[in-house]
Amino acid sequence: MAGTVTVPGSSVPLTPLLKDELDIVIPTIRNLDFLEMWRPFFQPYHLIIVQDGDPSKVIKVPEGFDYELYNRNDINRILGPKASCISFKDSACRCFGYMVSKKKYVFTIDDDCFVAKDPSGKDINALEQHIKNLLSPSTPFFFNTLYDPYREGADFVRGYPFSLREGAPTAVSHGLWLNIPDYDAPTQMVKPRERNSRYVDAVLTIPKGTLFPMCGMNLAFDRQLIGPAMYFGLMGDGQPIGRYDDMWAGWCVKVICDHLSLGVKTGLPYLWHSKASNPFVNLKKEYKGIFWQEDIIPFFQSATLSKECDTVQKCYISLSEQVREKLGKIDPYFVKLADAMVTWIEAWDELNPSAAATAPSDAAAENGKVAAK
């Protein structure tokens, strides 16, 4: 049953960034002991825990965290028939947490991810870096060869147009991983012992018109700017595909961000991905997607949105129609997915009625005010 637990007292700083404006969303099927390592960084923030699998199982959360926990029974109760759009037995269920959050920003993390160290041996505050990424502009229209020009010690290089130096509001901050890379099953099989030990101290804006494979295990975004597009699709139980939830969301998000002149950053922060999933299990989940993505990616590369699509919701509904028309020819699953995309937007607007009436330009303007503080 959903509930809120608040325990006073904390050793963390008194004024963490965006303390009252950000939720941390965690999908899980197990006790959240991993939070102990994150306590210095996460304890001041509100957690939304989305329990997957058996709703009768009791998930233990370490003392001292302020959280809500939702299981499948709660999802069914809150969304009614529209709960069909939320995946079951798959981490894609995390997007329910995005929907019920009332905060401006969301950070989501997997429960097998731990605090990484930078090359000096210092613990990396991944959340703080995500916030810095989101509160500074992006540069999607012209690539800066010194990467993020808004970081301390960097700037725009010679030849960068002055007319573009204000940048664009940042909608998404996509972090990376040390130790276990986010590989697909075939790559896992041929490189079973490969580990990522390379720490690259850089944040890049992904250029307009360029897609990317978004990973949901270390991700932050501005709900007001792009939240309704952060749908992780239909995956897991009863579906023919898995492990494409975050990538599907990323492709949709990037097309919409490009259309609405919003930015997507990737690079810092790193976290420590501790556990490699079974490549043979992964292959069973992925194999259709591995074939389908050769059609899915060209679809998104050629997708167009009209000037009438001036909100994220309108953009997303337009994408759903194109998914039904074009990808539906590949497999009936995409017709079902297109229907779920519409259901997701309807459910989002029911739970977020004021957000449904907010134009991206208004939200972007508000984002600019925050960034300027």
pLDDT one digit per residue (tens) for the chain, 373 residues: 454 444 444 444 457 899 999 999 999 999 999 999 999 999 999 999 999 999 999 999 999 999 999 999 999 999 999 999 999 999 999 999 999 999 999 999 999 999 999 999 999 999 999 999 999 999 999 999 999 999 999 999 999 999 999 999 999 999 999 999 999 999 999 999 999 999 999 999 999 999 999 999 999 999 999 999 999 999 999 999 999 999 999 999 999 999 999 999 999 999 999 988 999 999 999 999 999 999 999 999 999 999 999 999 999 999 999 999 999 999 999 999 999 999 999 999 999 997 665 566 666 655 443 333 2
**Residue 14's pLDDT is what?**
57
**Residue 371's pLDDT is what?**
38
Report yes or no: 234 and 337 within 8 Å, Cβ to Cβ. yes
3-state secondary structure of 359: coil
Query: Residue ranges of the alpha helices (H) in 194-278?
Result: 223-226, 245-260
Q: How far is CA 214 from CA 90, 128, 230, 254, 340, in A?
A: 16, 20, 11, 10, 20
d(CA 196, CA 184): 15
Q: Is the dihedral of CA 35, 41, 44, 49 positive or negative?
A: negative
**Residue 310's pLDDT is what?**
98
Nearest CA to 113 out of 283, 276, 281 is that of: 276
Report yes or no: 118 and 199 within 8 Å, Cβ to Cβ. yes
d(CA 91, CA 346): 21
- Predicted TM-score (pTM) above 0.95: no
3-state secondary structure of 309: coil
Residue with tokens 């007292």: 9
